[in-house]
Amino acid sequence: MFDALSEKLQATLSDVRGHGTLTEDDIKKAMREIRLALLEADVNFKVVKEFTATVRERSTGADVIGQLNPGQQVVKIVNEELAALMGGASAGISFSPRPPTVVLMAGLQGSGKTTATAKLARHLASEHGSSVAVAACDVYRPAAVDQLVKVAGQAGATVYEKGTDADPVEIARWALDQAKMDGKDVLIVDTAGRLHVDASLMDELVKIRGAVKPHTILLVVDAMTGQDAVNVAQQFGEAVAFDGVVMTKMDGDARGGAALSVKAVTGKPILFSSTGEKLDQFERFHPDRVAQRILGMGDVLSFIEKAEQQFDSDQAKELERKLRKNEFTLEDFLAQLKQIRKMGPLTTLLGMIPGFAGQQLKGLKVDEKEMDRIEAIILSMTPQERRRPELIKGSRRLRIAKGSGVSVQQVNQLVKQFAQMRKMMKSLGSGRMPDMQQLMK
Ligand SMILES: Nc1nc2c(ncn2[C@@H]2O[C@H](COP(=O)(O)OP(=O)(O)O)[C@@H](O)[C@H]2O)c(=O)[nH]1
Ligand SMILES: [Mg+2]
């Protein structure tokens, strides 16, 4: 999949990559080609618009950084934004501290729920060593229970079923009790779909959800249905909030529009992808790897990464020297701020650190607007003022405030905080960065 998109993006970017400088026209042309490629891949048009706007904004003014030319930076930006579009860092299902962890599978008829239930069971058993049971709650089609018994059996999972005469909500509740008694780590609840999202489907799901209190609700959607899959996901999300998507039949989808749009439209990432009917054709979805595969520039991207690391470590050494000698200026501070922001929203970054679950991060919001303001204030200073903030007095303050659209008090505050920070760093006498959170209070 992604073949056509991949080919077009690669052509555009290898064109751009050779450029030592990029004019506005070069960028415009590249963005036009990227927009077309994404639209042809059946990506939601609003998503395309936002994507190209972000890439354009980040690419404009791309400068030579270290060994990287502007064209290479555009490649890097497209790569990063593609990954971000699909959800950034890869996420898995969340396990309950008190087993069994319950996973509820939802989706339309034929989307691949039953198959994905068995595949997920197999995946969790082999990757996490979990003992897995599945519950057969699709009682509307006689063959549905048999199908689950067969595939889940192949996957080595225990199947809890009561045929097709029992009530699905009762089956779910009973299966949870069984799973507890049997000491299962995970219970995956397979449910019935409908041809369309309708009230009775949602009603049943809500009841099953109430009965088993799932830790994760996975929405199974068929990639081959393109934007329909995205619309279905949106409708589902409005009725029954889900945590992540299982994108199935990726093997039959040449374009990739659903995979590229669903996160942006629903806010929920793809957690797993299914690429065939066989049990092992199922894997965790890694947006960054998929983005790299689409761009097909493994070597270029790893060169870019290395050049950047080199640049970062050169910068870090210089910074350390300055800190030791107390030569750290507002200009350096601005460069640091930019460096950090370049890596993406701070909360996302923190979220990638192992051990930081999404929950714990909620109280820890870094105010991006505040960072914008600090940047604006520093940018409104003359280079001399940035180097010697003690010059900033009287009319200079007013000029800076006006230039950056803030109050004189806010300029004062920044200058004061910076002075404190410098003092603090001097006493530390090491290359350690001060606590940004403290600084921004
Ligand atoms: N090619 C392909 N077929 C799939 C994939 N996932 C499911 N299927 C097939 O799609 C059909 C419907 O799947 P099923 O699990 O019964 O869907 P459900 O109605 O949502 O439970 C079956 O024939 C599956 O073998 C996939 O990733 N690739
Ligand atoms: Mg089924």
Same domain, 142 and 244: yes
CATH number for 384: 1.10.260.30
Instruction: List the structure tokens of 365.
Output: 């919001």
pLDDT exceeds 80 at position 87: yes
- Digit-coded pLDDT (tens) for 108-150: 999 999 999 999 999 999 988 999 999 999 999 879 999 999 9
Q: Are residues 407 and 312 in the same domain?
A: no
Domain with 298 in it: 1-89+288-324
Q: How many domains does the chain have?
A: 3
The reply to whether 186 and 244 lie within a common domain is yes
How much distance in Å is there from the Cα of 220 to the middle of ligand 1? 10
pLDDT greater than 90 at residue 439: no
Q: Are strands 270-274 and 282-284 parallel, antiparallel or unpaired?
A: antiparallel
Same domain, 311 and 260: no
Name the residue with higher pLDDT: 18 or 303: 18
Indicate whether residue 150 lines ligand 1 (CB < 6 A): no
Residues 279 and 320 in one domain: no
Residues 182-222: tens digit of each pLDDT: 999 999 999 998 888 888 889 999 999 999 999 999 999 99
Q: What is the pLDDT of residue 420?
A: 79
**CATH code for position 255:** 3.40.50.300
Pick the atom of ligand 1 nearest to 108's CA.
Answer: 20
388-413: pLDDT as tens digits: 888 888 899 999 999 999 999 999 98
Beta carbon of 273 within 6 Å of any ligand 1 atom: no
- Does 94 reside within a domain? no
Nearest Cα to Cα of residue 136 among 197, 97, 127, 121: 121
Buried b / exposed e along 307-319 (16+ C-beta atoms within 10 A): bbeeeeeebeeeb
Instruction: Confirm whether 96 is domain-assigned.
Output: no
How many Å lie between the centroid of ligand 1 and the Cα of residue 409? 62
Does residue 180 carry a pLDDT above 80? yes
Q: Give 408: exposed, middle or buried? Use CB within 10 Å, 0-12, 13-18, 19+.
A: middle
By alpha-carbon position, which residue is closest to atom 14 of ligand 1?
Answer: 112
408/439 same-domain check: yes
Evaluate: CB of 115 within 6 angstroms of ligand 1: yes
The verdict on 75 and 137 lying in the same domain is no
Same domain, 247 and 107: yes
Q: Classify residue 371: in a domain, yes or no.
A: yes
16: Cα separation from own chain's centroid: 26
pLDDT reading at 274 higher than 90: yes
Query: From ligand 2's centre to the CA of 232, what distance in Å?
Result: 17
Spatial distance between the Cα atoms of 110 and 5, rounded to a whole number of angstroms? 27
For residue 154, being part of any structural domain is answered with yes
- Is 152 found in the same domain as 52? no
Q: Is residue 352 assigned to a domain? A: yes
**Is 309 labeled as ligand-binding?**
no
Q: pLDDT tens digits for 42-62?
A: 999 999 999 999 999 988 876
